[in-house]
Homo-oligomer: A and B are copies of this chain.
Amino acid sequence: MNPCDILYSSIGIIHSEHSIAEKTPIQPVYAKGCKGYMEIFPEYAEGLKDLDGFSHIYLLYHFHQLPKAKLIVKPFLQDVERGVFATRAPCRPNALGLSVVELVGIDGNILYLNNVDILDGTPLLDIKPYTAKFDLHAVKRNGWQDEVDEHTAQKRGKRGYKRS
């Protein structure tokens, strides 16, 4: 390992109805009603205490199909080339994914989820609560996303959309 290397280990596996990357919704907001669940490895289950009080949680996970990293990409919502850090595309230098999903319930080390935009079998790295105190920010500018109307976003962001 070189000095910049950082080693993590998955704490569980995310399961969903999405088995094909190109047909997976690009964000939870376009995955309404897509159910899923996570299995947390038993050695971490104690850390789930009190999590069931939160309606929404951040999932941090690893894009395990390892799309080749690119610095310039066309985001799913628009046919214009953008810097990868100005998008949520999976082909990033570090294949880290971030989604805010709805937490439906917890049974032991199994978490039931809604609005899941994540591929089946994805390794989970961390869970954090998404809260009104910490996570609602007064966005002033949305960059290129301000050019994308809601109709287009809904069409392109949903499951099953394939860029022609």
Taking a contact as CB atoms closer than 8 A, the residue among B55, B82, B86, B98 that contacts A140 in the complex is: B55
Closest to A52 in B: B143
Known A29-B133, A142-B54; judge A8-B94 contact (CB<8 A).
Answer: yes
Q: Is the CB of A60 closer than 8 A to any CB of chain B?
A: yes
Chain A window 128-145, contacts with chain B (Cβ cutoff 8 Å), 1 for yes, 0 for no: 111111111101111111
A124 to chain B, nearest CB (A): 9
With a CB–CB cut-off of 8 A, which chain B residues contact A125? 6, 94, 96
A93 to chain B, nearest CB (A): 5
Number of copies: 2
Identify which of residues 70-91 in chain A touch chain B, using a CB-to-CB cut-off of 8 Å.
Answer: 71-72, 81-88
Q: Is the CB of A164 closer than 8 A to any CB of chain B?
A: no
- Contact between A7 and B9 (Cβ–Cβ < 8 Å)? no
Q: Is the CB of A92 closer than 8 A to any CB of chain B?
A: yes
Taking a contact as CB atoms closer than 8 A, the residue among B44, B54, B100 that contacts A86 in the complex is: B54
By secondary structure, the A interface counts as mixed
Q: How far is the CA of A91 from the CA of B78 in the complex (A)?
A: 39
Q: Is the CB of A24 closer than 8 A to any CB of chain B?
A: no
Q: Is the CB of A56 closer than 8 A to any CB of chain B?
A: yes
Q: Is the CB of A21 closer than 8 A to any CB of chain B?
A: no
- Contact between B143 and A100 (Cβ–Cβ < 8 Å)? no
Known A5-B7, A5-B8, A9-B5; judge A84-B47 contact (CB<8 A).
Answer: yes
- Contact between B129 and A96 (Cβ–Cβ < 8 Å)? no
Known A72-B47, A82-B49; judge A139-B7 contact (CB<8 A).
Answer: no
